[in-house]
Amino acid sequence: MFRAAYLSYSAQFHIDAPSSFAYNVAQHILHVAAAAEQGAGIVVCPEYGISGFSNMPKSDWVSGGWYETWADPGDDAWNVPCTAPDHYPEAPSLVSLSCAAREHSISVVASIPRLQDGQLYNVALAFTESGRLVSYAKQNLWGESAYIDVPEGNHPTTFTTDAGVTFGLVVCADLIYKSPVLDLVGSGVKHFVAPVAWDNSMAQMQVLGWAQGWSGWTGATLIVSNHRAPNMSGSGVFKGGEVLSSSSSFYEETDSLHVVDVGGEEGGGAFVVPNVVAIGEEPLPADESWAWKELEEGAVLESATGAVECTVRSLGGAAGGYALGVVDGMDADNVHAPSMTWGAKACGVMACGAADNSCLDYRAGGGLESLELGFKGLAGDGVVVEVVGYVEGQEDGQVLMDWRLEDGVLYVEGEEGVRISSALVYSREFAWDPGAVLPLTKANLTKLAAAIATGIFTTVVRQSLPNY
């Protein structure tokens, strides 16, 4: 049993980068002290919580000093910045946070840009109760490529608190990809911390729904701290799919600290999802877009490939203003990075004005109270169930609704005064991701030839070839 805290915080900008960093670190430390006073053994702060975030080019980040820099301490005696400040002359934030962790005997997770050998990385920092530093540079960027660099190689990173709990250290979009997070799961890591700056633009990937579903799929405990900004909210603690605590308000005006007890060393068991083809049996995708149909009871929708089928078995409440969607190919983020694609098979019900790709833009929803969504053909390396709703009259926030999976059907239970915004069974296809190494199976080679002939080669296969 341990007690965890997560912070919903909005970074503040002051006269210049040093002033902004100093102010935001001071605010972090106030919340660190408050978390420790409430008995928390670890507190997680959001991505870009010290620097804030901006789409300015990398040169402006560097020239403006919106970073800190330090040498890797390794296992040396100076891996506690608080006791070795002379080794961190250009990283005062690290020294302050290390000292706060020591003073209050609490592990602290935060986020800061790091300049290293001319590269600017988005780095998660972890300080144990003794102030010892572990850092990790985000591997999977999301709309940050104009200013953030990707480290070479794969770097699964963990830290162990002085109390003996080992955490995987990841950042935001890492939760969507295979490496490094699933490498950590595969090695037996049961607890994860994730600073995020995850907005609500994508209906098919809301942070609360994804975090709960990811936790359920992997059986892990996940602590998420989201940056607080307009249209950006959703933090919580999830254990094996169980929601231990969650908080969401897109227009929250004040920062908030949440403390929750996390029982037991092990996470809950991963959900068993039916109709899943074994890993490696699926070829490259042929269909690159979502298909849609207006939501009504009895509606059936197949992907263009014919491999995925979604069926609306039952509905409770008003179905108007929703659509049934299916994808069997490459999904995309049309808001932040339209050129980004990733492999997916999914069935979903989403709130929208018309049955088209506008359904991928999140909205609070209408009057749908419950549903039964059947699905077939969802193959993939991992299936995440996402069900997000809102309290009627409180469209500026989200709640996680009760649901269960049984015999190829997703059941979303009705709750008094709560309406569905989106409900998906989302299957990832990591082998289809740009840059992935694809197994040289007969099926993949056959699909490769077809992809070249149809032009899909340029958008899917070619991106993977450098890794062969």
Top-confidence residue, 20 or 284: 20
Top-confidence residue, 461 or 368: 368
Residue 459 lies inside a defined structural domain of this protein: no
Residue 274 lies inside a defined structural domain of this protein: no
**Boundary (domain end) residue, out of 262, 283, 303:** 262
Start-to-end CA distance of the chain, whole Å, equals: 45
Q: Are residues 366 and 409 in the same domain?
A: yes
User: What percent of the chain clears pLDDT 90, i.e. is strictly above it?
Assistant: 68
Q: Are residues 308 and 251 in the same domain?
A: no
Residue 463 lies inside a defined structural domain of this protein: no
Q: Are residues 139 and 27 in the same domain?
A: yes
Q: Are residues 74 and 210 in the same domain?
A: yes
Is the sign of the CA dihedral 389, 175, 403, 333 positive or negative? positive
pLDDT of residue 464: 32
Q: How confident is the model at residue 458 (pLDDT cuts 50, 70, 90)?
A: very low
Q: Is the pLDDT of residue 341 over 90?
A: no
Q: Are residues 309 and 211 in the same domain?
A: no
Asked whether 403 and 434 are in contact (CB, 8 A), the reply is no
- 256-262 and 309-317 strand pairing: unpaired
Q: Are residues 226 and 315 in the same domain?
A: no
Q: Are residues 303 and 229 in the same domain?
A: no
For 63, the token pair is 């020239």
Top-confidence residue, 443 or 289: 289
pLDDT of residue 441: 53
Residue carrying the six token digits 């609070």: 364
* Relative orientation angle of helices 17-37 and 92-104, to the nearest 10 degrees: 10
Q: Are residues 192 and 48 in the same domain?
A: yes
pTM score of the predicted model: 0.90
Domain span at 420: 291-432
Top-confidence residue, 420 or 383: 420
Top-confidence residue, 393 or 345: 345
Residue 167 lies inside a defined structural domain of this protein: yes
Q: In what order do the strands lie in the sheet with 133-137?
A: 133-137, 119-127, 107-116, 42-44, 2-8, 256-262
**Boundary (domain end) residue, out of 241, 262, 283:** 262
User: How many distinct structural domains can be found in the chain?
Assistant: 2
pLDDT tens sequence across 212-260: 999 999 999 999 999 998 888 899 999 999 999 999 877 677 899 999 9
What does the pLDDT average to over 432-461?
51
**Boundary (domain end) residue, out of 217, 241, 262:** 262
Residue 250 lies inside a defined structural domain of this protein: yes
Residue 468 lies inside a defined structural domain of this protein: no
One-letter amino acid of 206: Q
